[in-house]
Amino acid sequence: QILGLEGSLEILGDIPDYARHGLFALPGSHEVWIRLSNGSMNIQPDSTGDVRGFAIKVRGLDGPGALTETTDCQDFLLINLPAFSSPKSDQFVQMVQAAAQGNAPLFRYMIGAYGFIGGILRMKKMASSISRRFTGFATEKFYTAAPIACGPYAARVRLLPDPSRKRGNATPSDLGEEMKQQLSGGPLTMDLQLQFFSDEKHTPIEDASVDWKEKHAPYVTVGRLTIPSPNNLDALQETIEKAVFDPWQALKEHRPLGDVMRARKHVYFASQKGRGAR
């Protein structure tokens, strides 16, 4: 965890009827917890290339759960990449396990799974994705990368930053401090958007390695995330560090979809147990 924050999510009133399901059925404001993190399982400087995580827990709900009879929260786990590197669950799990052991085991796995040329190409694509400039959590886009349900439909979630926020020229050496500096200038707002399934060719549900292009599936803004300034930082860190953020901790109408999301059910359970989260 880089930083834990609290804020609010306003569900807008002027959204299309097809988006009005679950959390988005009625306009209103909900309390949220936010966890900002790096993806690597190894401790390393923030300036090192990595996948960045922006997790949101919408609190105070009461409805049928994706895995349980009822749930009081809806979790959204977003990353700064629009798609996963692995199309299928077995590849996703094996890649995560290999990556946890370091670059050499990851390289061996990629070669074994995709052949020499295919493995090299995937490693290059992955390296390019995680090594690109990351300007900070206040100024980047974040995606669920894999779809969730929105009632009878499938959709991906995106966080869109305020375009008026000043972007840096390089990845900050301390992403937590950079976020605090952003908040010192006033509350941070981001748009929460849904991108709906259009067809299996352009927006596949089972292949999480395919980016859903906006020209085939436009985004619809359904909510506005606000992180106030000042934030209750010191009191929140341990609480949020110990909290469970899990895509399956969700309303039934927003249950995770697709092969990789089904695998994440087991991967995240193991990860949370290892961290002592509850």
Q: Are 81 and 50 in contact (CB under 8 A)?
A: no
**pLDDT tens sequence across 63-80:** 999 988 999 999 999 999
**pLDDT tens sequence across 135-161:** 899 999 999 999 999 999 999 999 999
Give residues with Cβ within 8 angstroms of 113, minimum separation 6.
Answer: 91, 94, 95, 119
Element (H, E) at 247: none
Instruction: With a cut of 90, say whether residue 278 has pLDDT above it.
Output: no
Whether the predicted model's global pTM rises above the 0.75 cut: yes
Q: Are 204 and 191 in contact (CB under 8 A)?
A: no
Architecture of the structural domain at 3-275: Beta Barrel (2.40)
The Cα–Cα gap between 107 and 105 comes to: 5
